[in-house]
Amino acid sequence: MKVRDGTVKRSALTPFVIIAVAVAAVGGILFGYDTGVISGAILFITSEFALPPTLEEIATSSVLVGAILGAIAGGLLADRIGRRLSIIAASVVFLAGTGIVVGATDLSIFLVGRVLIGIAIGVASFVSPLYISEIAPPAFRGGMVSLNQLFITFGILISYGVDFLFSSSGDWRAMFALGAVPAAVLLIGMVLLPDSPRWLLSRQHMNRAIAVLEKARGTGDVFGELDDIKKAIGMQKGGNWSDLLASSIRMPLIVGLGLAVLQQLTGINTVIYYAPTIFQFSGLHSAGASIAATAGVGTVNVIATAVAVVLIDRVGRRPLLLVGVAGMVVSLAVLGAGFAFSGTVQGGSLLGLITAVSLMTYIASFAIGLGPVFWLLISEIYPLTVRGRAMGVTTIANWAANFLITVTFLTLVGAIGQAGVFWLYALVSIIAWFFVFRLVPETKGLTLEEIEEHFRAGRHPRELKGLP
């Protein structure tokens, strides 16, 4: 893996790797589908269980609470029992949670099921990218890990479609039941696949690690890569929570935690979860129009993420982040201005147009940058022996910030108005841009061990430049 011209790294794309990556990325569908499906289902659940607004909010956000719990447990699991078994356990918990939700006869049973689903998503949300990053060849790692994000956006879009399909019958149980399909695919697929070669080596399963690497690279000549991994393990003894305080991990943790929080505080999930409401604020009162506009947002999210998947190993992580976050700043500023000045222009229809266009550019900008690149970078920048735990901690911050933004959105709109809220997110996006500019490394084309070596030497993240 010391080859610098990229030829060896580029040639190493085998059917086995493609299948392993595609299966693990199905975790992204669970993530997207089950965070998205509630938006349509909640209307019917509220009426069946006669929920007042506070209980409706709890029913909506329970999956996020579960995801925080899942990320807490998942970090330890991923390092201890492995990436593969963690994903298998998450799929089983997901199926159990789905069964409970579908059969729920009252709110408390429903909540138990939703929290279980959340726990499973919390684990899968970072163990899937982690597994992919540890099995993918370096030259394709960015696109392959980002496939997980593509599947998240796909899951969200499918959930909008399913909500729409079942909206006339009001069958919310069927909406949730369909989530079992990708979970079963993930479960069966991961049972058949081996664990990541890096985790196997970190637990001294040498022969199995060699076998997986040979299959993954399509060659018997894997000893260079193997040596690099062994060296990285040897340098970084430990594997305890306290190792997260080591000075070599401080910088990666600052980068990871910063991106985790900024990915959410720039407002993405107010759009994902509340798009119909935002469209209604802007005067699109017909349900049909706001559903169509929401489907448009979901589609743009998928398409722009697909573009990122293609670009991420060519142009690199930093350019995508810098361009994407800049696009978010502009879109949010315009969206806020639309709401602030709509009274003085032609009112409803113009505001509707401004809202639709700026939400589309906002989501496209997120999808090309912060969406995929956050999950990718946190699977790349932590040292192997504590990678699961460090990613777990980072993922807790991401889900906690998601929860915070989601539960405060409507209250904030009441307090400072729509314009105020979108400008606030624009301000956070400006901070995010400078954060990226100053601190985020370029990891394109490098092996995970090269990245680890850089941080162990105590060097600044920005000095890491990636391969040209």
Please report whether residue 301 would count as binding ligand BGC according to CB under 6 A. yes
Candidate segments 134-142, 243-251, 267-275, 444-452, binder of ligand BGC by CB under 6 A: 267-275
* Residue 261: CB minimum distance to ligand BGC, A: 11
The closest alpha carbon to 149, from 378, 375, 377, 380, belongs to: 375
Please report whether residue 268 would count as binding ligand BGC according to CB under 6 A. yes
Structure tokens at 187: 């479960």
For the packed helices 268-281 and 38-48, what is the interaxial angle rounded to 10 degrees?
70
> Is residue 74 packed enough to be buried (19+ CB in 10 Å), middle (13-18) or exposed (0-12)?
buried
* Residue 5: CB minimum distance to ligand BGC, A: 33
Candidate segments 8-16, 192-200, 265-273, 317-325, binder of ligand BGC by CB under 6 A: 265-273
Residue 8 vs 397, nearer CB to ligand BGC: 397
Please report whether residue 152 would count as binding ligand BGC according to CB under 6 A. yes
Please report whether residue 149 would count as binding ligand BGC according to CB under 6 A. yes
Residue 153 vs 342, nearer CB to ligand BGC: 153
> Is residue 242 packed enough to be buried (19+ CB in 10 Å), middle (13-18) or exposed (0-12)?
exposed
Residue 100 vs 175, nearer CB to ligand BGC: 175
For the packed helices 107-135 and 53-80, what is the interaxial angle rounded to 10 degrees?
40
Q: How many residues bind ligand BGC (CB under 6 A)?
A: 13
* Residue 263: CB minimum distance to ligand BGC, A: 6
- Residues counted in the chain: 468
- Please say whether the beta carbons of 119 and 64 come within 8 A: no
Residue 248 vs 269, nearer CB to ligand BGC: 269
Please report whether residue 133 would count as binding ligand BGC according to CB under 6 A. no
CB atoms within 10 A of CB 207: 8
Residue facing ligand BGC at closest CB distance: 371
CA 425 – CA 67 distance, rounded (Å): 23
HEC letters along 173-213: HHHHHCCHHHHHHHHHHHHHCCCCHHHHHHCCCHHHHHHHH
Residue 268 vs 464, nearer CB to ligand BGC: 268
> Is residue 67 packed enough to be buried (19+ CB in 10 Å), middle (13-18) or exposed (0-12)?
buried
CA dist list (Å): 218 to 8, 137, 221, 305, 308: 11, 11, 9, 29, 27
* Residue 268: CB minimum distance to ligand BGC, A: 5
Please report whether residue 159 would count as binding ligand BGC according to CB under 6 A. no
- Please say whether the beta carbons of 370 and 264 come within 8 A: no
Structure tokens at 214: 């040979």
Please report whether residue 258 would count as binding ligand BGC according to CB under 6 A. no
Residue 75 vs 239, nearer CB to ligand BGC: 75
The closest alpha carbon to 127, from 100, 96, 93, belongs to: 93
* Residue 18: CB minimum distance to ligand BGC, A: 22
* Residue 462: CB minimum distance to ligand BGC, A: 23
* Residue 366: CB minimum distance to ligand BGC, A: 7
- Please say whether the beta carbons of 149 and 372 come within 8 A: yes
Candidate segments 207-215, 268-276, 319-327, 459-467, binder of ligand BGC by CB under 6 A: 268-276
Phi, then psi, of 418 in degrees rounded to 5: -60, -45
Residue 39 vs 402, nearer CB to ligand BGC: 402
* Residue 143: CB minimum distance to ligand BGC, A: 16
Structure tokens at 318: 């930093």
Largest CA distance in the chain: 72
Please report whether residue 269 would count as binding ligand BGC according to CB under 6 A. yes
Tell me 344's DSSP state.
Answer: T
* x/- track of binding to ligand BGC for residues 349-378 (CB under 6 A): ----------------------x---x---
Candidate segments 17-25, 98-106, 150-158, 306-314, binder of ligand BGC by CB under 6 A: 150-158
- Please say whether the beta carbons of 27 and 83 come within 8 A: no
∠ CA 45-46-52, rounded to 5° = 150
CA 67 – CA 398 distance, rounded (Å): 10
CA 437 – CA 214 distance, rounded (Å): 38
* Residue 230: CB minimum distance to ligand BGC, A: 33
* Residue 360: CB minimum distance to ligand BGC, A: 14
Among 153, 358, 406, 447, binds ligand BGC (CB under 6 A): 153
Among 159, 394, 402, 447, binds ligand BGC (CB under 6 A): 402
* Residue 376: CB minimum distance to ligand BGC, A: 10
Please report whether residue 157 would count as binding ligand BGC according to CB under 6 A. no
* Residue 1: CB minimum distance to ligand BGC, A: 29
Among 38, 272, 297, 364, binds ligand BGC (CB under 6 A): 272
> Is residue 262 packed enough to be buried (19+ CB in 10 Å), middle (13-18) or exposed (0-12)?
buried
Please report whether residue 62 would count as binding ligand BGC according to CB under 6 A. no
Contact residues for ligand BGC (CB under 6 A)? 35, 149, 152-153, 156, 263, 268-269, 272, 301, 371, 375, 402
